[in-house]
Structures are given as structure tokens and as C-alpha cells.
């Protein structure tokens, strides 16, 4: 009767440490131990409290919180693209296809997209890799983008956000029985969910530092150093890079990957977000292909993109894709199986991917309005300039020029007094800064240590994709807060 | 220069078997080896070919393929709920909120949902666990459903489909370093993606057979046998069950889980699909709670639900939730981290979950139309009766009465000649039957062996949630095909 409280010798559940619960910390997937709890949790909770207080009429020095802690255009106040939303609405509610309130090309496009859905509904499952016609349209987009270099639909998989595909490609690469453990080279700073995915699989992150002095450029010597540092610790099999990047590094990085037999994981989510003058996005795949043999046919590469980060900014739809290059067909089979596991990506997100990769053309009724994206680009270019100007004008604050992406990652030169105060509070110094900035300035940013930074340096990170007026307000609040903070702890 | 072709002694990439590629089958996550390739792949490809041929005007004995191979209401021809689609459309394209073409409560609801989204857009990320107000509304729904038993929002996580949460809860439970390996008890037949998730984690499935003679009921003695069978093979930590199930088994199953220290994974996706007379869905959590101590406070349980399988049938939106009961707070922290990894579930799916759990009420303008769900229920009840009647009237074909779920899983008594022919073709006998049925009858079903069946028995599986006329057509085609098939191989 009381057998639950006897040790089980037969089926071996003898690791149970507490009698009342089955699943205690000691028993679970031990890789969970290695997963850093994300610290923005506490900041996010406080931001939500403050928002609720403001709604209830509590008086603060600001009327609303400016939410720029993640790369989220709509969250930061940017407007969605009308064409995209109109097509999606008509797909969701097909009677709109017959309504004269929507432009003709919108209605035709919705009709076409529904024709691709099983049973003509966005409510049915699609094929595991995605709706075949959309996968095809993505491959055409890649081919156009890369100046004609072929792209094969069989190598493309659509997933619920690109983070999902990054995790799942890693899942295939990480051999859990390898000894020493599998390692993955990652940049510092790095998107923290990628770090989470790696550690959760039981693999080891091998950090390489981007050069802050050179606008956060990647340096091949540093890759070399990082790889050396892994000796005896783990066995690196992959190199994760974030592109846009200065093109000069592509060839040496690919050579490095080839020499060291590293699988290239290329995060190309920010391919639309290139700001430098005369700069144009070039994909790793294009460079690889142009390098010719032996590289072009051997270096294994996965390139990620999504509807979250371009000018669509549709993070909430959760759809991205990965293109795989040079993979062994036997491995591709496993990639297929793993992408089948969760059925399919959200169908509306898949349709948004189609709209992103095959937008209205000159002559289409929606074409003039689709130029909203040029407005968004202009706003981003302007914001980048303003953030750079304002931050560099503040004492103890600096920001290298930036050429791509959605984030500012300026450096804080905190005074010893500020660092001391943070320590007393049990906080990382930059978390302390962000907490005060949120509390006093109503600006929700995140601390640099969450993404990694050189020992003894401090940063904050915020998204630059906010409408101009919000960005100006943000910079005003940040400047005024910063001056007070520096004075308080001088 | 040619260093890529030398063995690497330093960083240890010495497992590479072929010189041209880095990632070969031998190197990757060894659990991938254990993942069965899903066989419906070939059937699905053929179904798509046939559909394309029909579109091109190729003449066949049928004009369209009836697609019932998965549990997909819209895929099988059922219509989405108008209220759900109207609210979602207005959330996607907010100008519709001001249009008089949509009912007032739809517009108000859309406004309310958008107010819960960061930046007022469905294009922004939500909190990792889901939009807090929606998580709260789910907990209220569970409480009402379970006759007042409390449900706490902190224990609920929204995910992109329930399959995702099943995988991720398993990910926390499976200790990859355990020796013997972790085991999970699963029913036979079982949803094949769950099997995939388990093997992909390196855990072992421990099958228990449902009793076909008793309308596929679960029998506790069989659980006992299965557990015994795991001795020396693996260490079972969890029991996966699919509910609706006859209520008589709940108490013994929970007792069993308690005694054997098994974590209960309860798939309750089909909670709306209960057909037996005087039958009503009862959740495992409710029974557990009513059993009182020591059970109610100790048995760990995860219950899954989703917008895919109820009367919403919105598989393509990809949203489900899990409620966790009696978990150690330290383990809950890891659950939180793993749910944070892929950012969040699709926001439109989250809103659909809200509509499902908090539908229009009497007096609301949309209430009369929302009764579409009663029509759907009536169709399912009718279909269940018809499938049962027709199949049991055919020689060599039988189907126990069924009380819940979306699938018929009738048994085929194949003749030795048919089995022989299949063997010659290198096919499983039921795959052979399904292939011919697709080819000759234009009905796309799946073979029983994909879900598991007793050695020497054969089944086919198909979704019963099709409109009545399509179901009648399906039964006509199936009957006529079956008679020919049985004659051909008699
Ligand atoms: C570098 C990087 N990669 C991947 C992602 C994940 O994006 P998605 O929304 O497509 O999962 C993000 C999101 O912020 C990111 O910054
Ligand atoms: C028993 C069972 N569980 C889970 C799922 C997955 O559903 P979802 O679409 O919510 O991931 C299915 C889908 O067919 C199923 O049949």
C-alpha cells in the first residue's frame, strides 16, 4: 500500500530525493541546470507593473513606458504594412475577398493564398516544410537576392519563428554522446535565446568577442583564439555568425569554417536593416558560391530569416525559414523529421513570408502604398544617426557607428560609486542602470550582460525601430536620466 | 593549405567519416537515429500528385481527393466558426473595428484583444507564457469546466500547438544522462508525433496496448504489464494518456501513477469530442483533486489542450496550452525557461484560445451564430454512427463503437493473399491497402502501423470530422473499393 515510499529497485526510479514529488530538480534533464535564467524577467515584471499603475492613474514623471527592450517594431510603435495586413485579414475571413473595400490585388492575392491551403482554409495544417508554393516563392526570392545563384526548394524549411529553426538545426548538430561535449562558437554580444538553445542541448558555447572599437565587427584572429580556448573543453562543430557584417570578413570566415570543419549557422534576419552608405546586404551563401571549389561545394551552411525583423516586423505571427546548403542527404532526412515533429508553422505566418518574399510590383494597385517600407527604412536610418549623435554627446556613454541590425548597444562608463551601489543591491551594474532608467525615465531597455560583454565593461541594449517622435522622446528621457544618474554617483 | 583534409587531433573533430562534408550521419545527435521516418510521406506525396493531375484534367474514377489522413477539420471540409474568424480578421486589420459590416461584439472583442497586445498590434511578441489576460481567461475556463476546482494562471503556458508543449515538457522530464535510459509509457495506438518527440530526446517508449475489444479502453493491468516489461531496459518516469477515456479508469490510473511515481501527461485535446450517450468530459485534474490526499497534492500532471481539435478546428493557427499540477517550484522555473526559448506562441493563435475559452454569451449579437458549434457536434455524432454502421457491414472490416476523439481506427482482416502481395511490394499490408484506396478510391487515409497495433493486426485511420455529404461520399468510395479489394485478393 505504501509502496510509493519504498525505493524502487526494479524500474530504477532511485534518484528521487524527495518523497512527495516525482520530478525534482535533481532528476530532470541535467542540461536544464546550465540554462541561465533570463534576467529581464524581473525588469519585464516591473515594466508591466508600471504600465498598470499608469493606467490606474498613478502619477509618474512620464505618461507611458517606452518599450524598446526587444527587437520588436510594432511593440515599439511602428505601424504594420497595410498590404500585408489586408491580405492576411482576407485570408482569415474570406467574405472580405468579395468586398469592394479592399484593393483588387489584395483580394486576388488572398484568393491565391487560400488556394494553396488544404481545404482552402488557413485553419488546416500545411506540409511539415511549409506550403510548397510558398517554399518555392522563398527559393525564387533567395535566387533574385543572390544574383541568380540557384536555391532549391527542397533545402528550405519554414518554421514558427527563426529561433525555432536555430534550435532545431542545433539539435541535429549536437551529438549528446560526444565526449568531449559538442561546442558552438558564438559572438559576444549575442542574442540570448541562441545561448539558451545551445546550453539546453548540453552543448558548450565558445565565445568570440566582436570588436566594439570597429563597430562590432567580427575578426578572424578572434575566431582563432576562441577555437584555441576550446581545447580540452569541448569539440566545436559549428560557428554561429550574425550577418549583416562587413563584407571583408566573409571570405576569411568561410575559409576558417572550411579549414576547421565548422558548420556555418548564419543568422540573416537583419538583411533589410543595412544603414551604412553604399552598403548593400550580401549573403554568406552568395559569397560561398562565388568562392568556387573547394569551398562552394563543401562548407555546410544554414541561413536563417524571418518575418519578425525585416520591415514587416511581424514578430507575433511567428514564421521564419532556414535554407540549408551542402548538407549530406542522410542528414537532410533527419532535418525533415525534426521539422515534422511539431506539425507545421502557423499558416498565416507562412503567408506573410510569401508576401515578404514576393511583394506588390510596379503597376499593382497596392504598390504605391507598399512604399511604406521606404518610410520605415528612412525612419531607421534617421534613428541610427540620432542615437549615435545623442549618446556620444553624453558623458560616460558611447556608441560606435552602426551599420546594420535593429539594436543600439552603447557602452556605459559607470563610476566606481555606481558599481558599488549596484553590488550592494545584488544587481549587475548595468541591470541597476536599466532598473533606474525604467523607474525614473519610463524607458524599458535591457542590460548588456544578458548578451555578453567584456569583463568590466557595461552596456545597455535597445531597439532603434521606433517612430521618430517616440525615438526623440526616448533620447530626451535617456539623456536627462543619464545626466542625473552620473551626477548622483559621481 | 589542405589542412581541412587532415585529421584534427586538437579540437577533436576526429569522428568525421567523409572528407567532403562536416556533418555526416555518424556525427549528429545520435537520437536522430532512433526517430522513425514517418511513412505517410510517400502517401502524402502521391496524394498531392493525384490532386495536381486532377487539376490538369486527368480522368480518374473520382473528381477530388478526400483528405482525411489527419485530424484536421478544415482540411476535411468543415467550415471555421464565423465569430472566431471575424474577431481575428479585425485584430489583423484594425480598420475593420470601425466597419459596420461586423457585429458590435466582434468589434468590441477585437478592440479588447488588441489592448492586450504590446503596442496594440498582433505583430508584437507576447510574454513567453502567453498574453497574461489570456492565460488568466484559460484558468477561468478550466475552473468552470472542473466544477470550481482552482486553476492558477502561473501554472499555465501557451505554446505554438500542443505538440510543442508535449515535446518540451518531455524535454524537461527526460534526463539524458540517466542510465538506464528514461522511459515513457505510451498507448498503442498513439499519435505518432508524440512517439517521435520521445525518441528524439533519447528516451524509450514503453507501449501499453489499448483494448480494441473494449472500444480502445485503457486497462490498468496492461499498464502494470508494460511497466514490468521495462525492467532492465529503461526507467519509466512518465505515463502519457489520451483523455476522453471511460471515467472508471481514472482513479486506478491515478493510483497507479502515484504508486509507481509516474508523471501523468494527459492529452485532453479531444475534450469537446465526446459522443457516447450521457457521456460528459471529465478531466484528470478534476478526478485527481476529488480523490483528495495523498493523491491530490502529490501526483504531478500536465494537461494539454489546443485550438486545433475542438470545434474551432484551427490547426493552422498553431496554439495550445498546458496546465501543470503539483510541480516542484524549482522545476517550474525550468519549464518557464524552456517556454521562453522560442519567444512566444503566435499571437493570433493565442487570441483564438481566448475566444475558445471565453465564447459569446446569451444576449451577445454573435451568440446565435456561434451555435455553429452545435451543428458541428451534430455532424460528428452522425458521422460516428454512420462510420460504425457502414464499416461493420463490410466483410473483413470492423470498428468498435467509439465514444471520443476525431478518428476512426477500424480493423482490416486482410487475406493472406493481400498480405503476400504487400510483402512482394515491400509495403506494410495496411500501407498497401491505403495506397490502393488512395489510387482507386481517391480517399487519403493512413495505415494503422504508423500509430502502433498488435502484431498481425491491420487497421486504417481516418478523421471523422468531415461534412455529412463528404462523409457519405467517403463511405461510398471506401465500401466499393473495399469490396473490390477483398474480391481481388480472396
Ligand atoms: C539575432 C536574432 N536571431 C533570431 C531572433 C529570433 O527571431 P524570430 O522572431 O524569428 O524567432 C532574434 C530576435 O530578436 C534575433 O535578434
Ligand atoms: C492526440 C493528439 N495530440 C496532439 C496533437 C497535436 O495537436 P496540435 O495541433 O495542438 O499540435 C494531435 C494532432 O493530431 C493529436 O491527435
Euclidean distance between the first and the last CA atom of chain A, given in angstroms as a whole number: 69
User: How far, in Å, CA of B325 to CA of B340, rounded?
Assistant: 20
Residues of B in contact with A263 (CB under 8 A): 22-23
Tell me, what's the pLDDT at A404? 85
Rounded average pLDDT over B393-408: 91
> Alpha helices, DSSP H only, in B56-155?
82-92, 104-115, 132-145
Interchain pair B347, A316: CB under 8 A:
yes
Give the count of beta carbons closer than 10 Å to the beta carbon of residue A413.
12
User: How far, in Å, CA of B20 to CA of B11, rounded?
Assistant: 18
- Long-range contacts of range B39-46, CB-CB < 8 Å, 24 or more positions apart? B39/B428, B39/B431, B39/B447, B39/B449, B39/B450, B40/B69, B40/B446, B40/B447, B40/B450, B43/B69, B43/B431, B43/B434, B43/B435, B43/B438, B43/B444, B43/B446, B43/B447, B44/A127, B44/B69, B44/B444, B46/B435, B46/B438, B46/B439
Contact call for residues A451 and A465 (beta carbons, < 8 A): no
> Alpha helices, DSSP H only, in B416-467?
416-425, 429-436
> Does the structure show a pLDDT above 90 at A36?
no
Confidence of residue B24 (pLDDT cuts 50, 70, 90): low
Tell me, what's the pLDDT at B14? 26
> Alpha helices, DSSP H only, in A147-293?
162-173, 192-200, 220-229, 250-259, 284-291
Tell me, what's the pLDDT at B313? 97
**In what order do the strands lie in the sheet containing A301-306?**
A156-159, A320-325, A301-306, A263-267, A234-242, A181-188, A204-209
Best to test chain B binding among A7, A123, A293, A319 (most B CBs inside 10 Å): A123
pLDDT tens, position by position, B424-458: 999 999 999 999 999 999 999 999 999 999 999 99
User: How far, in Å, CA of A104 to CA of A96, rounded?
Assistant: 11
Tell me, what's the pLDDT at B45? 87
Contact call for residues B186 and B198 (beta carbons, < 8 A): yes
Locate cell 528524439: which residue?
Answer: B200
Residue closest to B102 by CA, chosen among B233, B47, B43, B110:
B110
Contact call for residues B83 and B106 (beta carbons, < 8 A): yes
Query: Considering only A334-343, B201-210, B249-258, B343-352, which range has the smallest mean pLDDT?
Result: A334-343
Interchain pair A29, B175: CB under 8 A:
yes
Using CB distances shorter than 6 Å, the residues near ligand 1 are A 71, 161-163, 191, 242, 267, 269, 306, 308, 315, 320; B 343
> Does the structure show a pLDDT above 70 at B35?
no
Mean pLDDT of chain B: 90
pLDDT tens, position by position, A43-72: 988 998 999 999 999 999 999 999 999 999
Q: Select from B48, B161, B334 the Cβ nearest to the Cβ of A343.
A: B161
Task: For chain A, say whether B132 makes contact (Cβ under 8 Å).
Answer: yes
Tell me, what's the pLDDT at B30? 58
Residues 196-255 of A with CB under 8 A from B: 196-197, 200, 202, 227, 230-231, 235-237
pLDDT tens, position by position, B67-105: 999 999 999 999 999 999 999 999 999 999 998 999 999
Contact call for residues B238 and B261 (beta carbons, < 8 A): no
Task: For chain B, say whether A322 makes contact (Cβ under 8 Å).
Answer: no
Contact call for residues B238 and A27 (beta carbons, < 8 A): no
Residue of A163, A166, A190 best suited for mutating to test ligand 1, as the one with most atoms within 8 Å of CB: A163
Cα A127 to its chain centre, rounded Å, is 25
Mean pLDDT of chain A: 90
Q: How far is CA A262 from CA A257, A265, B361, in A?
A: 5, 9, 58
Interchain pair A11, B231: CB under 8 A:
yes
Bridge partners of residue B208, in order along the sequence: B187
Confidence of residue A10 (pLDDT cuts 50, 70, 90): very low
Q: Whose CA is nearest to atom 6 of ligand 1?
A: A163
Name all domains of chain A by residue range, CATH numbers in brackets.
3-25+120-357 (3.40.640.10), 31-77+372-488 (3.90.1150.10)
- List, in order, residues 6 or more apart from B391 with CB less than 8 Å away: B397, B398, B399, B408, B410
Amino acid at each position: 500500500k505504501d509502496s510509493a515510499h519504498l525505493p524502487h529497485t526494479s524500474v530504477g526510479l532511485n534518484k528521487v530525493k524527495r518523497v512527495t514529488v516525482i520530478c525534482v530538480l535533481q532528476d530532470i534533464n541535467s542540461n536544464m541546470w546550465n540554462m541561465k535564467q533570463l534576467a529581464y524577467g524581473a525588469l519585464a515584471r516591473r515594466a508591466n507593473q508600471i504600465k498598470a499603475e499608469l493606467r490606474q492613474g498613478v502619477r509618474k514623471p512620464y505618461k507611458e513606458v517606452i518599450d524598446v527592450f526587444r527587437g520588436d517594431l510594432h511593440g515599439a510603435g511602428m505601424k504594420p504594412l497595410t498590404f500585408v495586413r489586408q491580405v492576411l485579414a482576407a485570408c482569415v475571413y474570406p467574405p472580405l475577398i468579395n468586398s469592394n473595400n479592399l484593393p483588387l490585388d489584395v483580394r486576388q492575392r488572398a484568393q491565391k493564398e487560400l488556394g494553396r491551403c488544404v481545404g482552402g482554409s488557413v485553419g488546416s495544417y500545411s506540409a511539415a516544410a511549409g506550403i510548397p508554393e510558398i517554399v518555392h516563392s522563398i527559393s525564387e526570392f533567395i535566387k533574385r537576392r543572390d544574383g541568380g545563384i540557384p536555391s532549391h526548394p527542397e533545402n528550405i524549411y519554414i518554421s514558427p519563428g527563426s529561433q525555432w529553426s536555430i534550435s532545431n538545426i542545433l539539435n541535429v548538430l549536437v551529438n549528446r554522446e560526444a565526449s568531449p561535449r559538442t561546442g558552438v562558437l558564438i559572438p559576444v554580444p549575442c542574442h540570448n535565446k541562441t545561448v539558451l538553445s545551445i546550453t539546453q542541448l548540453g552543448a558548450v558555447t565558445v565565445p568570440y568577442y566582436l570588436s566594439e572599437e570597429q563597430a562590432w565587427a567580427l575578426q578572424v584572429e578572434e575566431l582563432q583564439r576562441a577555437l584555441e580556448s576550446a581545447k580540452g573543453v569541448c569539440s566545436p562543430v559549428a560557428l554561429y555568425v550574425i550577418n549583416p557584417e562587413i563584407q571583408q570578413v566573409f571570405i576569411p570566415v568561410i575559409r576558417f569554417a572550411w579549414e576547421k570543419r565548422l558548420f556555418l549557422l548564419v543568422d540573416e534576419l537583419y538583411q533589410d536593416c543595412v544603414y551604412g552608405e553604399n552598403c548593400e546586404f550580401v549573403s554568406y551563401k552568395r559569397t560561398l558560391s562565388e568562392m568556387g571549389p573547394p569551398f562552394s561545394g563543401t562548407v555546410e551552411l544554414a541561413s536563417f530569416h524571418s518575418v519578425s525583423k525585416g520591415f514587416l516586423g511581424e514578430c507575433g505571427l511567428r514564421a521564419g525559414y532556414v535554407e540549408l546548403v551542402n548538407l549530406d542527404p542522410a542528414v537532410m532526412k533527419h532535418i525533415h523529421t525534426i521539422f515534422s515533429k511539431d506539425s507545421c508553422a502557423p499558416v498565416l505566418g507562412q503567408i506573410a513570408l510569401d508576401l515578404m518574399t514576393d511583394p506588390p510590383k510596379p503597376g499593382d494597385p497596392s504598390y504605391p502604398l507598399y512604399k511604406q517600407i521606404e518610410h520605415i527604412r528612412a525612419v531607421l536610418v534617421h534613428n541610427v544617426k540620432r542615437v549615435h549623435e545623442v549618446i556620444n554627446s553624453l558623458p560616460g556613454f558611447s556608441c560606435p557607428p552602426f551599420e546594420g541590425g535593429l539594436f543600439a548597444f552603447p557602452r556605459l562608463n559607470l563610476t566606481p560609486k555606481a558599481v558599488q551601489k549596484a553590488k550592494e543591491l545584488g544587481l549587475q551594474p548595468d541591470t541597476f542602470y536599466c532598473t533606474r532608467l525604467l523607474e525614473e525615465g519610463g524607458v524599458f531597455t535591457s542590460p548588456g550582460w544578458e548578451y555578453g560583454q567584456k569583463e568590466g565593461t557595461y552596456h545597455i541594449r535597445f531597439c532603434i525601430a521606433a517612430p521618430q517622435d517616440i525615438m526623440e522622446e526616448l533620447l530626451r528621457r535617456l539623456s536627462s536620466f543619464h545626466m542625473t544618474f552620473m551626477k548622483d554617483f559621481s
